[in-house]
Every structure is written in C-alpha cells, then in structure tokens.
Amino acid sequence: MKKKKDIKICFAASSGGHYEQLMMLKPLMNKYDSFVITEETTYKTKQNGKKIYYMKQVNRKEKGFCLKMLINAKRAFLIFLKEKPDIIICTGVLAMIPICLVSKIAGKRLIYIESFAKVTSATLTGKLLYKFADQFYVQWKSMLKVYPKAIYLGGIY
C-alpha cells in the first residue's frame, strides 16, 4: 500500500491503556507518514516499525510534576520542529498535553479521542484539550452529556 506523503500525523498517547487504544489506529498509521510519541516507562513499547519519541511519565500529584512538564514541553517543541506534523491524534493523558498545545499554537489540527474507560466523567486532559481540539471524539454515547460538541462513533476497540 502506498503511503500518503502529503500529510504527516503524530500519534500521541501515554503508556498503558491509552497507548493500546492508539494502536487500534494502526491502519491509519500505516496509510500516512506518521510517528508516535509516548511515555518513558520501565518496559519498552512495541515500535511496529514506526519512529517513536518518548516523554517523561508524569503524575500531577508528584513533587516533580512541574519540572517534568517543562521537560516534556521542551521535548515536544523539538520533536515538532524536527517532524513538522500536520495533524496530532491523541488519546491522552497529561504527558501528551505539550505536543498537543505546541501543535495548536503552530496552527496544526488536533484530534483528541477521550478514553474508552470514561463512560460518565471526563479525564483532566480531556477537559483541557476539549477547548483546543478541532475534532473531539468520545467512545460512549453517554459522554455527549459531558462533551456536547464531541463526535460519537462508538469505541475504537
């Protein structure tokens, strides 16, 4: 299958379930020129032949939260300058906020997919990025009450 080189997509997600959800979009990854951003963890994520970048894993309740977010912001800026993505597709969470915001500031499109695990309430990242996303998807119809302007197409699993 020939890849569409005219559009470059950044697929961004933290580790664990958010990353697994992102990997459900692998057919889209293979169709376009793309790369992945995820968190540094003690285990290695499957690269699936894609270029992959790592952000610091963050927890908003940790002491070093602000420092890690600043480091991630710098990394996001450098990755953005190097890769020049046209679109960011993100399934969350906190460590991915910098790449999403850097891209929006640069006038790029942001597509956010709220977590499959959220059925009746929003994630903190979802609440923030809902304001910036060009398209915001929810995976449960009940989430349209939380995000009235969201798009519901069902789950990506």
Residue-level pLDDT at 105: 96
Cα gap 120→140, rounded to integer Å: 8
- Tell me: the pLDDT tens digits for 78-130? 999 999 999 999 998 899 999 999 999 999 999 999 999 999 999 999 999 99
Please give the C-alpha separations between residue 152 and each of 28, 79, 110, in angstroms, as whole numbers. Answer: 19, 31, 16
**65-83 and 97-105 are packed helices; what angle lies between their axes, rounded to 10 degrees?**
50
Q: What is the CATH topology of the domain spanning 4-152? A: Rossmann fold (3.40.50)
What confidence category does residue 2 fall into, taking pLDDT thresholds of 50, 70 and 90?
Answer: very low
Tokens of 86: 């046209």
Q: In the 8-state DSSP scheme, what is residue 88?
A: E
- Tell me: the pLDDT tens digits for 52-75? 999 999 888 889 899 999 999 999
3-state SS string over 37-71?
A: EEECCCCCCCCCCCEEEEECCCCCCCCCHHHHHHH
Strands laid side by side in the 4-12 sheet: 51-55, 32-39, 4-12, 87-90, 109-113, 135-138, 151-152
Give the residue extent of every domain in the chain: 4-152
- Tell me: the pLDDT tens digits for 37-53? 999 887 666 666 779 99
What confidence category does residue 1 fall into, taking pLDDT thresholds of 50, 70 and 90?
Answer: very low
Cα gap 132→23, rounded to integer Å: 23
Amino acid at 18: H
The three-class DSSP label of residue 130 is helix
Task: Say which residue, 37 or 17, is predicted with more confidence.
Answer: 37
Tokens of 92: 């969350």
State pTM to two decimals: 0.90
Residue-level pLDDT at 113: 95
